[in-house]
Amino acid sequence: MQGADTAWILTSTALVLFMTLPGLALFYAGLVRSQNVLSVLMNCFAIAATVSILWFAVGYSIAFGDGNAWWGGLGKSFLSGVDIDSVSGTIPETLFFMFQMTFAIITPALIVGAYPERIHFSFVIAFSLVWVLIVYAPVVHWVWGGGFLAEMGLLDFAGGVVVHVTAGVSALVLAMMLGPRRGFPGEVQPPHSPGLTMIGAAMLWVGWFGFNAGSALAADAAAGMAMTVTHISAAAGAIAWSVMELIRYRKASLIGAVTGMVAGLATITPASGSVGPIGGLVLGLAGGVVCYMVTQAVKQRFKIDDSLDVFAVHGVGGMLGTMLTAVFVSVALGGNGLAEGMTIGSQLGVQALGIVIVAIWSGVLTAVIVMVLKMFLTFRVDEETEVQGLDLALHGERGYHNM
């Protein structure tokens, strides 16, 4: 057990939890109508609390147990066999469990962006728990728990596939099955608090250092480089998106800038252990531009109300970054170098296969989960509730008291 590594991963764990509470929570809260602000905050908070227990019970075991190439088994349920002295690499296993827990929390929390302002709260919790159990935890095992995608040589340092593709694709499917918000697309209300969104985004930028640099699982050179490329990509993403808006509307908006930043961060996530600073710059710019265009396409061309653009920003950003990893990992472009026996072409193939497998897994299972849960739980609230706002109707609270 190494003290420096342990100290850094302790810090990273706190940073990544901070990304959800309150980073992502505030980011999303500012984007919805004022009468739904509490429901979004509550979704994120409740997911954090409930997924924590699920992860402790079986999630960690499915992901990191000693099973086979497909799933980790239940051997580590309730941290059985793991005690204060257990070690994972150079850090305590309890800490590795915790670090991974914060990823297991934020991934279903990302999906909140697909369904706000119209989904029923009990459905949110039930869906998130089942989703973590049968979609997320197995994928973690495949990519990080020694499963078959790891054996194939898939490069996903901090979760481009594990977090962003799973959440992004699932969000898209869920949004399609749930149906759009009332008034979509022509008469949707604008974000009620762009300032709140920026505050949340700022917390995400800082927290992402724990997400990516922490994925080095050590206080070392890899962490330093991961932090560097992460930061450059965030900045580049923000600039790229803002430039797109300047070209199109002659105005750069705050919400656009912070969304571009998130796009850059989502794109660099899988690559943060492989690429160098130039790669970070390219991925950030690419993420900002591509995600901007996909955001428009999903909402305007395909008319899918993935309300807070989870697929366009996280899903597409994650996919783009995962593919570009295969290119910018090469030493010639400043990366760490391709794995033994791989070429850019063969690595691209592995990356693509990983994306496709995980995307199909996520999409199909999300549809199944929704269809099954719909039989027992209210899926979408009625029209009157939707107009009134979920805060009062589902939680008995007002976010703002005006009179």
Partner 1 sequence: MKFIVAIIKPHKLDDVREALAGVGIEGMTASEVKGYGRQKGQTEIYRGAEYQVNFVPKVKIEVAVDDAVVDQVVDAIRNAANTEKIGDGKIFVLDLQSAVRVRTGETGVEAL
Q: What residue ranges bind partner 1 (CB under 8 A)?
A: 31, 186-191, 194, 244-245, 248-249, 251, 253, 255-256, 259, 292, 295-296, 299-300, 309
Is the alpha carbon torsion for 377, 380, 385, 390 positive or negative?
Answer: positive
CB 50 within 8 A of CB 124: no
**Residue 349 structure tokens:** 């193939």
Indicate the residue among 256 and 280 with the shorter CB distance to partner 1: 256
Cis before 22 (ω within 30) = yes
As measured in angstroms, the least distance from the Cβ of 111 to partner 1 is 18
Indicate the residue among 58 and 320 with the shorter CB distance to partner 1: 320
Which helix (H) or strand (E) element contains residue 41? helix 37-54
Is the alpha carbon torsion for 220, 224, 227, 230 positive or negative?
Answer: negative
Indicate the residue among 182 and 248 with the shorter CB distance to partner 1: 248
Indicate the residue among 186 and 396 with the shorter CB distance to partner 1: 186
Indicate the residue among 190 and 341 with the shorter CB distance to partner 1: 190
Residue 341 phi/psi, 5° resolution? 80, 0
Indicate the residue among 253 and 346 with the shorter CB distance to partner 1: 253
Which helix (H) or strand (E) element contains residue 88? strand 87-88
Residue whose token pair is 């808006």 = 245
Indicate the residue among 291 and 390 with the shorter CB distance to partner 1: 291
| Axis-axis angle for helices 254-268, 277-296 (nearest 10) | 120
* Pick from 167, 200, 215: nearest CA to 316: 167
**What whole-number distance in Å separates Cα of residue 329 and Cα of residue 272?**
10
CB 334 within 8 A of CB 279: yes
As measured in angstroms, the least distance from the Cβ of 303 to partner 1 is 12
**Residue 313 structure tokens:** 């920003």
**What whole-number distance in Å separates Cα of residue 90 and Cα of residue 32?**
43
As measured in angstroms, the least distance from the Cβ of 4 to partner 1 is 40
As measured in angstroms, the least distance from the Cβ of 329 to partner 1 is 31
As measured in angstroms, the least distance from the Cβ of 253 to partner 1 is 6
As measured in angstroms, the least distance from the Cβ of 290 to partner 1 is 13
As measured in angstroms, the least distance from the Cβ of 69 to partner 1 is 40
**What whole-number distance in Å separates Cα of residue 265 and Cα of residue 227?**
11
CB neighbours of residue 221 within 10 Å: 9
State the Cα angle at 270 between 356 and 4, rounded to 5°. 145
As measured in angstroms, the least distance from the Cβ of 105 to partner 1 is 25
CB neighbours of residue 382 within 10 Å: 12
Indicate the residue among 102 and 307 with the shorter CB distance to partner 1: 307
As measured in angstroms, the least distance from the Cβ of 31 to partner 1 is 8
State the Cα angle at 163 between 119 and 302, rounded to 5°. 55
CB 209 within 8 A of CB 215: no
As measured in angstroms, the least distance from the Cβ of 340 to partner 1 is 43
- Side chain identity, residue 13: T
Which helix (H) or strand (E) element contains residue 87? strand 87-88
Indicate the residue among 249 and 302 with the shorter CB distance to partner 1: 249
Radius of gyration of the chain, Cα coordinates, nearest whole angstrom: 20
As measured in angstroms, the least distance from the Cβ of 180 to partner 1 is 13
